[in-house]
Amino acid sequence: MIEDVVVRVAGALDLILLKLYAAGPGDAWDVEQLLTGSDEPALVAQIDVAVSALPPDGRALWARIRAGRRPA
């Protein structure tokens, strides 16, 4: 809260979903960095649920990232 105003910020899940939606050349690296140092198993589970709402390119990018990560 800043001077009685609630300021909302995007969390890791929000940013990752935006990156997956964009599915650009550097977005996979960005997603990996956002996953690093997070509560990764919980975050991965949330992404697994939300990814179905993304366009095909975003779902494919998540599948590639997921396949390259060690099991949570």
pLDDT mean by block of 10 residues, the chain; 72 residues? 85 97 96 88 96 98 90 56
Closest by Cα among 43, 50, 66 to 17: 50
Do 32 and 62 form a contact (C-beta atoms < 8 A)? Answer: no
Give the number of C-alpha atoms closer than 13 A to the C-alpha of residue 46, restricted to the C-beta side. Answer: 14
> What pLDDT is recorded for position 65?
96
Where are the domains positioned within the chain? 12-68
Residue 72 is predicted with a pLDDT of 52
Q: At what angle do helices 12-22 and 56-68 cross, to 10 degrees?
A: 120
Around 69, how many Cα atoms within 13 Å sit in the side-chain half-sphere?
Answer: 18
pTM: 0.84
Give me Rg for the CA atoms of the chain. 13
